[in-house]
Structure 1
């Protein structure tokens, strides 16, 4: 019987119990920020990769949210131009992973477990996360939030990703080719869960509220953004922190209020629904 995520999701969508510290990645030569719980040893950690032309400041509350649940987060603030180098961004993700396990964090009272590493990416960053995770067994989990098309192809790279995967997608059409999230999930080598969240789309996660109000892109649906955070947090706590009570967040057939899962033939159908008539900025 499919597990219902609703009870845990309500809690995980809210801020967690840990006080959060924020520091700079710049001291290791990489622009960006690092978010940590105030203390803890052997903590799980992720690198967060931003979307196309987005500054990490537009994810501040989301990154604090993850850290408040005991997850260390490094967020490189690179490749923000109109024509980013996706391979270069994947390399920055790898560098950030090395920082997480190789540099003293906080006042020296925070450490990361090398076996509890993951990557979370949004849009372009989700595609780059897949590139960075391919053929790297030390990565335990990857969350691809509304992945965009990148070059080289994330769909092809996903065939070599053994890490557990969470892919968030939407049926919503867009002028630009953000990518085919369901197809990415189909190509995933390891275990994967594909979800769609009501009233959530590619633009929901970023926190540049004024821009969204002026342009009408993505709206300001705070509840949908919180639901995204909760779904991702539950997945990471299960995969990286071994919190078994959240195992449903890794299950392909889990259900929840305003959260829909697709697998098997339904996932294949979802993948075929994405049209080929949209504009694309990048060629594979």
Structure 2
């Protein structure tokens, strides 16, 4: 690992400088969580999609971490059942971004720049983030960056939607993921991506390694919460969104260098 990348990984795996406020999207008609820095104007915002059967609370520390680095994060709690609509969850991610840009946050000392919007998600939520980014809507949010954790295929197909994604993409996959293996979903999505894209494989990560705490769905899905996976994912997602949404170019080395346990995969031929 290059010394600069190692230093940035250490820095961004720790909590950021901003106190964090937590709110409820249900107050504006969309169930879910919103976490924000305590103050700031023209902030970037990210909508986060949950995995299959997972409540947004299973990603709370990741969302809090991003907020501590100056990013507003909204996570809809919709379509969490076994027969969830991927198309509608993708639409809810876009609605969450509309809420962030159009609703007064905090005590009025917070605002989001509509030119600094991103989406992210785990598993099915990652696939839905791609669907949201690819939606052709002249009046909706213009998504500038997409990050996924163990992305899973959706219907409509995320891999097909990726051909319309010209914004930067970062996809993290688990080397021990038996549900959405890197050699299938993440590679297919990465190969189809229309814009600049990077795939990293965390060799020891399982499908649920990106989640937090315990949940009854652990009886159905492979893996469990893993602190090492959390640490690496938090640092990489933070760097990715700070660079591409906030213009913080000092964190670019973490996105261009291999880091321990998350090597950059070769570009598609």
More displaced 10-residue stretch of structure 1: 222-231 or 129-138: 129-138
Within 5 A, what are the aligned runs for 1:191-210? 191-209=196-214
Q: Any gaps of 5 or more consecutive residues in structure 1?
A: 269-284
| Residue in structure 1 matched with residue 112 of structure 2 by the alignment | 112
Question: Quick check: 1:261 aligned with 2:264?
Answer: yes
Mapped to 2, the partners of 1:31 and 1:18 lie a distance apart of: 25
Question: Quick check: 1:159 aligned with 2:163?
Answer: yes
- Give the aligned CA root-mean-square deviation in angstroms: 2.2
Q: What is the count of residue pairs matched by the alignment?
A: 263
| Residue in structure 2 matched with residue 277 of structure 1 by the alignment | none
Shift of the alpha carbon at 1:40?
0.2
Shift of the alpha carbon at 1:3?
8.8
The C-alpha deviation readout for 1:187-235, integer Å capped at 9, x for no partner, is 0011111111242232111113476987894244212211111111111
Equivalent pair of 1:167/1:185 in contact (CA under 8 Å)? yes
The C-alpha deviation readout for 1:109-161, integer Å capped at 9, x for no partner, is 00001111000111000000000101558211000111011101000000001
Shift of the alpha carbon at 1:263?
2.5
Matching residue within 222, 229, 248 for 2:227: 222
Within 5 A, what are the aligned runs for 1:68-107? 68-107=68-107
The C-alpha deviation readout for 1:51-98, integer Å capped at 9, x for no partner, is 000001111111111100110001100001101100010110111111
Q: Any gaps of 5 or more consecutive residues in structure 2?
A: none
Equivalent pair of 1:100/1:112 in contact (CA under 8 Å)? yes
Mapped to 2, the partners of 1:244 and 1:4 lie a distance apart of: 13
TM-score normalised by L of structure 2: 0.91
The C-alpha deviation readout for 1:216-273, integer Å capped at 9, x for no partner, is 942442122111111111111100110011123444xx21122200132xx46xxxxx
Mapped to 2, the partners of 1:59 and 1:218 lie a distance apart of: 15
| Residue in structure 2 matched with residue 18 of structure 1 by the alignment | 18
